[in-house]
Structure 1
Amino acid sequence: MYLAMPRVALSPSVVFLCFDFRIFGGRAFGLHLKPRGQSPHTDFLNNFEVVGNSYASAQQVFLGTLDKVYIVDKTENNPWQIKDHPAWASEWSISSRQTRAMDAVTNTFCAGGTVLGNGTWLNVGGNQAVTYEGAAALSQAGGPPYDDPDGRQSIRLLNPCDNGDCDWILGQPMTTGRWYPTLETLEDGSAIIIGGCQWGGYVNDASQDNPTYEFFPSRGQPITSPILQNTLPANLYPLTWLLPSGKLFIQSNWNTALLDYNQNLETPLSDVPNAVRVYPASGGSVMLPMTPANKYTASIMFCGGSNITPDRWTEDWDIPHYPASSSCVQISPEVSSSYEEVDPLPEGRTMGNLLLLPDGRILCLNGAKLGTAGYGNTTYTIGQSYADQPILTPVIYDPSAPAGSRWSRDGLNPSNIDRMYHSSATLLPDGSVLVAGSNPNSDVNTFATYPTEYRIEIFYPSYYNQRRPQPQGLPNRMTYGGPFFNVSLTTADLFGNVDNIQTAKVVLLRTGFSTHTMNMGMRAVELDYSFLGNPDGSGVLHVSQPPPNPAIMPPGPALAFVVINGVPSIGAQVMVGSGSIGQQPTSPNEPLPQSAITPQQQSQGPTKKGPGASVILGQANGNLVQWLKVAGVSMAVLVIPSLC
């Protein structure tokens, strides 16, 4: 907001001043979100707390609103009912810790998911209608005992709500069935649906392979993908990310490619070294935060998995005792076609989730030391599990730490719950992490060595009990480029030292759709900013809108955090982009003001007082700064000479 300052006599030595000025924190941009307050203190710092019951075992999980987490299972004999049949979906309230059964309509076993640019969530694909123990039902249209119509071609939609009235509805079905598909939101807010198979099994095979991709909303018939054709049998849930160029990075079995989905062209990259990362090897994977410092370069890290060779993806050997890999590798596919090795995990791990935290670190939890994902009935299985020796203690990766010291377990405590095949995890708005699921069984079995798990846990990272910043001025909608916005921070937000404003990060984080060791669509983007530190110890961040490239941060809902000294604010939900599906408007980012910190008690001139107002003049990096107090409210003013 620009205001014209009238000519004002301040003193005999300063007779007239004329200038424009910008009130920091006063520029309007849509609606500003209310500060999110503080998190309640927990006795479980760096530890896990059991907080609820999921009703349906949490094979798939995502954060839908600031208060609601949505859970999706495969069709099975869960004890909670909906419409006179077992429920295989539910909604869990963060605030009340209560659960509501939901109706997913068709069988969602091993579906994929993402959120669209308008905020609608998709759950896509699944399995045929089943009866007890996962056997194929006689009627694929539904019926006793589970009333679960065939879900392989299903597209389910949900508009999350806080009033308990929303539920899943069916959209226009796909033209082909997909079990184990991957979804990724594109730069126009639509979704690409990649791969899968027709009826399932431990791994894929040529008789049921679906090596194609299609879109929602539909763009016509599916298109064949060479990388999926060439990577049988381990080509299910291909690991996929949208890159800043608008191309898609795809990793399947040992192979890697870039897909230009507009031209239907694939470019092979180097094979991933050391281990298979896709299901059922199920290594963890994550796109590292994109920041102004790294020029919004996309880098993807893979950790764990299994070095099983293609000819050994069978069920006739001792899978549950084959050691998982500890290898971690990283690739920046638009910089280099090759992978590089980075710090390995402390131990081999399969089915470990890698989750972005708002402070820039990465939490690794869940999984096992031995075996792979999947279940079956062989002489080697542990019950039905193809994995053994669960890993209960998380470990945290710090990308900013020196190489060789990036993984740490310092102060972290173990869970008491095994989280293996069909477990999930997602970040919550307060920076804690919800952990749920685990069910390496063909139907509900609460007595198995690794049982069907309904307990929900929350893990509380080290920053959780600290006083949180309470930024004021975050907009509820962000655009791709355009005017910057201003975020005000109090002295308390800066922990009593205005210099801490230099540690700030403003982070947009998509929490993603969690299933099978992946969080589809998860990414974090830091926004550029400059700052003004005020004489009273408060400060203002001048924050750029997201870069004018929707492929860096796809449109749709995201959490916005302001991080000071490694401590995040409570996340606020913002809409990035237009709020609709389609080409997103872009414009150049407005240049940011120069950063400055005005020392306390530094004044150069008299104080002008009027009714409820005072002005103190000072200097900051050569710019005239006013400290303006109106009606008891203080604000900083940068004086920009323009009219004299």
Structure 2
Amino acid sequence: MCVRVSGQLSPSVKNPHPSSSSNKTTSMPTLHKVLFISLTFLFVAVTFTFLAVEAKHWKHHLIPFPIFGDGGEGGEGEDKPDFETKSKGHWDLISQNSGVSAMQINLMPNNKMNVYDATVYRLSRLKLPAGVPCVPFVVERTKEKRQDCFAHAMEYDIETNKVRPLKVITDPWCSCGGLAPDGTLVSAGGFADGGKTIRYIGGNKCQRDDCDWREFANTLKEDRWYATQQILPNGDFIVIGGRRSFSYEFLPRQEGKSVDKPFFFPFLYETADIDENNLYPFVHLSTDGNLFVFSNNRSVLLNPNNNKIVRTYPVLPGGSRNYPASGMSTLLPINLTTTTEFAESSPLFKAEVLICGGNTHDAFLLAETKKIFHPALRDCNRMVITDPNPEWEYELMPSGRTMGDALNLPNGQILFINGAQKGTAAWWDADDPNFNPVLYSPKKPKGKRFKVLKPSQIARMYHSTSAVLPSGKIWVAGSNTHDTYKDKDKYPTETRVEAFSPPYLDTSLDKFRPQIVEEASDKNLRYGLGFTTHFKVEDDDGELTKNDIKVTMYFPPFTTHGFSMNQRLLVLKTEYVGDGLLKGVRVVRWKAPPFGEVAPPGYYLIFVVHRGVPSKGMWVHLQ
């Protein structure tokens, strides 16, 4: 039984000491009362002073919670619409001559762009530093012995636009790569002596600014020329395909070790045609840990643990999408705020693939033999690869595109950039540069997803590349349609570097742009745990909620030949948005990805996005 006491429920109990008078009241002397109250106030003041000092020192470890019904959580309704802008972007020339044409690139966690070309040319516009030995080689045609003193790789500082020559010996022409969990760039394959080579740069073995490539020839079992490299949920790499290599192999974890054995992959043989059209297959890690592999016009889901194909997808009609027809592909943003049920109540996050452009099956043969350049494909197709009954959804881009890049922007949009409107990949096999980037908004209704942006003045054709920077700008470089470096030509060898600012960098949106307070934000992440990011917004009316703010996480890809390997953007689950510990600073609490199938371990860029306007990215490490 309970009785109400002072407005609360309290258990009803009998007095265990009936002899004691419950009617008596004991009065505290007035002096004692004063001393008691004074000491209480002193204790409270000292406690709050201590907490304030500790909070200032440990502010990045404290997680603010809503107090007494504070509305910082925000409603669970729909997200607020993105801020609108009429901007079509902006171009800046940031380097007149970087020295090396950017055939293959990867942004590193130290904010340096690692760039390398082929060594087969024996020529570039950048010399090896004084004191670095030249590379001896033999001219195949004349058997003459010569010295190659040119740099075919470089480190480009994205903050100063200065370059540092790097030395690569085995030929990395048309190789593949990816960023390992410790920040090492691992590159596999290439041409001739580079075909079976694994290379490494950066990571724990590079603690100084003069780090260079570490190369181990003959560590792959098969030549990997035009192969694709994909990071797996445990941080290991798989390398798939290559010219006349209908197999895949797993790279060893230990540097310098050799691969155990290759695994025959009949699917690659089945999708080869007279022009191949199955090189640089599109490979995406699905959210269930299996690999979506697209080759030519067909796709399967491969289980890398038991080496079995677990499902086959509908054929994508219209033409070929892989090299040399060279369409574009990426995973659409993976939304971790919602889950679907898969198998028996196992949560699975939706994974959707986008494949656009390319050319007809015979386009390369016509371009190579007759210099007839077919118009590039205009279609853009998407499919939910985790759906029980997947189907391709078709629509048309504003223009055809081959050899373009598809980049995931920090606000969830996709940018199509670079490439040509006629022909295919390979030397001298394309025409009509596609100067206009195109913005694709996947969440908008069909028919309203594309926006044509401001054109570049530089043709970015075969062997051009692009990458998302922490600033939100796009680093654009490369283009060499020749078997050497040419200064004067219709499409000369490009060593100029541009920065493209997408519409979300419109200065009229700066007042809405979050600014991350890095020193107060979490950077070392653990799967499934909660973390906080502190940020400021100039135009902050104090009403920001979860419906205004998103946190996205971007894995920086290895980009070459129109495909950005390992690229993925995750929309993290936001738990709270409210006031930080300092005046004018806001905090967003979010959950890290739950497991490696959704987000492999390694370095990512975190962005705070305010209704479509992203902050600058902050490097974090997930493990």
TM-score for the superposition, normalised by structure 1: 0.73
Of 476, 483, 493, 1:442 maps to 483
**Pairs within 5 Å for 1:204-353:** 209-217=244-252, 220-232=260-272, 233-266=276-309, 267-293=311-337, 295=339, 296-309=349-362, 313=365, 317-318=369-370, 320-336=372-388, 338-353=390-405
**Pairs within 5 Å for 1:240-639:** 240-266=283-309, 267-293=311-337, 295=339, 296-309=349-362, 313=365, 317-318=369-370, 320-336=372-388, 338-375=390-427, 385-409=428-452, 412-464=453-505, 465=507, 466-467=510-511, 468-472=513-517, 473-482=520-529, 484-490=530-536, 492=537, 495-499=540-544, 502-534=547-579, 539-547=586-594, 549-577=595-623
Residue 108 of structure 1 aligns with which residue? Answer: 172
**Displacement, 1:223?**
0.2
Q: Which residue type is aligned with residue 558 of structure 2?
A: F
Q: Distance in 2 between matches of 1:333 and 1:70?
A: 32
Q: 1:418/1:506 Cα in 2 relative to 1: closer, same or farther (>3 Å)?
A: same
Q: Which residue type is aligned with residue 526 of structure 2?
A: T
**Displacement, 1:531?**
2.0
**Displacement, 1:59?**
0.4
Q: Indicate yes or no: 2:216 matched with 1:164.
A: no
SS of equivalent to 1:228: helix
Is the 1:275–1:304 contact (alpha carbons within 8 Å) kept by the matching residues of 2?
no
Q: Which residue type is aligned with residue 547 of structure 2?
A: Q
Q: 1:319/1:575 Cα in 2 relative to 1: closer, same or farther (>3 Å)?
A: farther
Once the two structures are superposed, residues 554-593 of structure 1 have per-residue CA deviations (whole angstroms, 9 ceiling, x without a partner) of 111111111112221211111111xxxxxxxxxxxxxxxx
Residue 3 of structure 1 aligns with which residue? Answer: none
Q: Which residue type is aligned with residue 541 of structure 1?
A: V
Which segment drifts farther, 155-164 or 295-304? 155-164
Is the 1:331–1:337 contact (alpha carbons within 8 Å) kept by the matching residues of 2?
no
Once the two structures are superposed, residues 163-203 of structure 1 have per-residue CA deviations (whole angstroms, 9 ceiling, x without a partner) of 53111101362122111110000011110011112xxxxxx
Q: Indicate yes or no: 2:197 matched with 1:154.
A: yes
**Displacement, 1:476?**
1.7
Of 28, 50, 62, 2:61 maps to 28
**Displacement, 1:99?**
1.0
Of 111, 126, 150, 1:80 maps to 126
Is the 2:435–2:455 contact (alpha carbons within 8 Å) kept by the matching residues of 1?
yes
Q: Which residue type is aligned with residue 94 of structure 1?
A: I
Q: Distance in 2 between matches of 1:460 and 1:355?
A: 13
Q: Distance in 2 between matches of 1:418 and 1:343?
A: 26
Q: Distance in 1 between matches of 2:166 and 2:391?
A: 43
Q: Which residue type is aligned with residue 245 of structure 2?
A: N
Residue 229 of structure 2 aligns with which residue? Answer: 183
Is the 1:343–1:406 contact (alpha carbons within 8 Å) kept by the matching residues of 2?
no
SS of equivalent to 1:373: coil
SS of equivalent to 2:528: strand
Which segment drifts farther, 413-422 or 163-172? 163-172
**Displacement, 1:220?**
1.6
Q: Distance in 2 between matches of 1:420 and 1:433?
A: 17
**Displacement, 1:66?**
4.3
Q: Distance in 2 between matches of 1:408 and 1:45?
A: 8
Structure 1 gaps of 5+ residues are 1-7, 11-21, 31-43, 129-149, 198-208, 376-384, 578-644
Q: 1:228/1:337 Cα in 2 relative to 1: closer, same or farther (>3 Å)?
A: farther
Q: Which residue type is aligned with residue 58 of structure 1?
A: A
**Displacement, 1:47?**
1.8
Is the 1:66–1:429 contact (alpha carbons within 8 Å) kept by the matching residues of 2?
no
Q: Distance in 1 between matches of 2:263 and 2:150?
A: 36
**Displacement, 1:290?**
0.4
Is the 2:546–2:574 contact (alpha carbons within 8 Å) kept by the matching residues of 1?
no
Residue 599 of structure 1 aligns with which residue? Answer: none
Q: Distance in 1 between matches of 2:389 and 2:566?
A: 22
Q: Distance in 2 between matches of 1:369 and 1:78?
A: 28
Which segment drifts farther, 169-178 or 228-237? 169-178
Q: Which residue type is aligned with residue 221 of structure 1?
A: K
SS of equivalent to 2:268: helix
Q: Which residue type is aligned with residue 379 of structure 2?
A: S
Identify the structure with the greater helix proportion. 2
**Displacement, 1:343?**
3.3
Larger gyration radius, structure 1 or structure 2: 2
**Displacement, 1:28?**
2.3
SS of equivalent to 1:560: strand
Residue 19 of structure 2 aligns with which residue? Answer: none
**Displacement, 1:240?**
0.2
Is the 2:552–2:571 contact (alpha carbons within 8 Å) kept by the matching residues of 1?
yes
Q: Which residue type is aligned with residue 477 of structure 1?
A: N
Q: 1:315/1:430 Cα in 2 relative to 1: closer, same or farther (>3 Å)?
A: closer
Q: Distance in 2 between matches of 1:337 and 1:183?
A: 28
Is the 2:195–2:225 contact (alpha carbons within 8 Å) kept by the matching residues of 1?
yes
Residue 35 of structure 1 aligns with which residue? Answer: none
Q: Distance in 2 between matches of 1:534 and 1:26?
A: 12
Is the 1:51–1:456 contact (alpha carbons within 8 Å) kept by the matching residues of 2?
yes
Q: 1:502/1:362 Cα in 2 relative to 1: closer, same or farther (>3 Å)?
A: same
**Displacement, 1:487?**
2.7
The alignment-based identity, stated in percent, is 33
Q: 1:399/1:215 Cα in 2 relative to 1: closer, same or farther (>3 Å)?
A: same
Is the 2:357–2:379 contact (alpha carbons within 8 Å) kept by the matching residues of 1?
yes
Is the 2:367–2:429 contact (alpha carbons within 8 Å) kept by the matching residues of 1?
no
Once the two structures are superposed, residues 295-344 of structure 1 have per-residue CA deviations (whole angstroms, 9 ceiling, x without a partner) of 3311110111012259x746665455201100011112121464322432
RMSD across aligned positions (CA): 2.7
SS of equivalent to 2:355: strand
Q: 1:29/1:270 Cα in 2 relative to 1: closer, same or farther (>3 Å)?
A: farther
Q: 1:337/1:518 Cα in 2 relative to 1: closer, same or farther (>3 Å)?
A: farther
Q: Distance in 2 between matches of 1:360 and 1:499?
A: 20
Q: Distance in 2 between matches of 1:390 and 1:360?
A: 26
Q: 1:162/1:401 Cα in 2 relative to 1: closer, same or farther (>3 Å)?
A: farther
SS of equivalent to 1:481: coil
**Displacement, 1:26?**
4.3
Of 32, 48, 72, 2:91 maps to 48
Q: Which residue type is aligned with residue 98 of structure 2?
A: S
Q: Distance in 2 between matches of 1:517 and 1:226?
A: 24
Q: Indicate yes or no: 2:187 matched with 1:123.
A: yes
Is the 1:342–1:403 contact (alpha carbons within 8 Å) kept by the matching residues of 2?
no
Is the 1:434–1:458 contact (alpha carbons within 8 Å) kept by the matching residues of 2?
yes
Q: Distance in 1 between matches of 2:447 and 2:55?
A: 46
